[in-house]
Amino acid sequence: MELKRTIKYESDRVKGFGREVMSVPGCEQLEHCIQCGTCSGLCPLSIFMDYTPRQVMELTRSDFKTEVLRSTTIWLCASCYACTVECPKQIRITDIMYELKQRAIHEGFYPKRFPIPVLAQEFYKMSHKRGRVTENFLATIMFLKTDILAALGMWRLGLNLLRRGRFPLKLEGIKRKSELERMMAVVDKLSIDALNNGHQTGGNGGRQHGAH
């Protein structure tokens, strides 16, 4: 039997992480969490998570950044908002999950071939580049980048979709792509983080806890 020490030391905390998250607009109410577990009880995906949503809330508030950003929980959130509308302290749990996902992506905290963040990023790239998303292309790219075998397993679904006219063979896109590019350039130039009182002090991918 392999034994594992589970103790947490103060040096395991990234002090200020919780405060940082709670200073993001929409995430403030986390301060009031009473750990009642309503979120986990309602979450349809909580049964697959390594930490329940309630535990993620507490770990975040207590500055256990590494544990939170490496958890499967944030990726399993399907944004159904069941937790958010029922939370007795009106904590916007779904929005906090989004915030944590963004941080995990920016700081490289997820397994390489884990499909969910890959999908999110590919979605981002495609919509950014073409203005629209063509789902079947997106899914194909995702499978190629994460698990080619799974992609092969999907051929039947693809064929079925094709037969029913639900598998477009052409990538969709908008006409005025340059307009969108100019708009996005504005956001890239402006440091929103600075404007938001430094809610993302680490910036893109910079911290030592980095990728693994």
Partner 1 sequence: MKYSYFPGCSLKGTGRAYEESLLPVLKVLGVELEELDDWNCCGATAYMAVDEVKACVMASRNLAIAEKAGHKELLAPCSACYLVLNKTKHYLHESPVVEAVVQKALRQANLTYSGNTPVRHPLDLLVNNVGIEEIKKHVKHPLKGLKIAPYYGCQIVRPYATFDDQYNPTTMDRLLEAIGCTMVTYPLKTRCCGGSLTGTLPEPGLLCSYILLKEAITRGADVIATVCPLCQFNLDCYRDKMKGKWGHETIPDPRNKDARVPVGPHLDIPVVFFTQLIGLAFGLSEKELGLQRGFAPMRKPACAQRQSAAA
Partner 2 sequence: MDKVNGNHDVRIGFYVCNCGTNIAAMVDVQAVAKYVAALPNVVVSRDYKYMCSDPGQELIQKDIKEFGLNRIVVAACSPLLHEHTFRSAVEAGGLNPFFFHMVNIREHDSWVHTDRDEATAKAKALARAGIRRVARHRALEVKKVPVHPDVLVVGGGIAGIHAALTLAKSGKKVYLVEREPSIGGHMAKFDKTFPTLDCAACILTPKMSEVGAHENITLWSYSEVVKMDGYVGNFKVTVRRKPRYVLEDLCTGCQECISHCVYKEPKFPDAFNEHLGKRKPVYIPFPQATPQVVLIDPEVCLNFRRGVLTDKCKKPCVEACGDRKAIDFKQKEELKEIKVGTIIVATGFKTFDVGRMPQYGYGRYPNVYTALEVERLVNASGPTAGDVLLRDGHHPKSIGIIHCVGSRDKNTNRWCSRVCCMYSMKLAHLLKEHTEAEIYNFYIDIRAPGKGYEEFYDKLLEEGVHFIRGRVGEVTDWAFIPEEEGKLVIRVEDTLAGVVRRIPVDMVVLATGLEPHADAQNVRRLFNMSCGTEGFFLERHPKLAPVNTFTDGIFLAGCCQSPKDIPDSVAQAGAAAAEALVLIDTGHIEQEPNTAYVVEAECSGCKSCIPLCPYTAISLLPDKKKAYINEALCKGCGTCVAACPSGSIVQNLFEDAEIFSEIDGLLEPTSV
Cα 11 → chain centroid = 26
Chain mean position to CA 124: 12
Q: DSSP alpha helices (H): ranges in the chain?
A: 17-22, 38-42, 53-61, 65-70, 73-76, 82-86, 93-106, 115-130, 135-146, 148-153, 155-163, 177-189, 192-195
Q: Is 175 in the site for partner 1 (CB under 8 A)?
A: yes
> Is the CB of 52 or the CB of 146 nearer to partner 2?
52
Question: Which positions lie near partner 2, rule CB under 8 A?
Answer: 34-43, 46-47, 52, 54-55, 82, 86, 88-90
Q: Does 142 bind partner 1 (CB under 8 A)?
A: yes
45 binds partner 1 (CB under 8 A): yes
- Tokens representing residue 41 in the block: 């009880």
Binding-site partner at residue 80 among partner 1, partner 2, none, CB < 5 to 8 Å by type? partner 1
The burial class, CB within 10 Å (0-12 / 13-18 / 19+), for 147 is middle
> What is the nearest approach in angstroms of partner 2 to the Cβ of residue 46?
5
Q: List residues binding partner 1 (CB under 8 A).
A: 25-26, 44-45, 47-48, 75-76, 78-82, 84-85, 92, 94, 98-99, 101-102, 105, 115-117, 119-121, 123-124, 127-128, 131-136, 139, 142, 156-157, 160-161, 164-168, 172, 174-176, 179-180, 182-187, 190, 192, 195-196
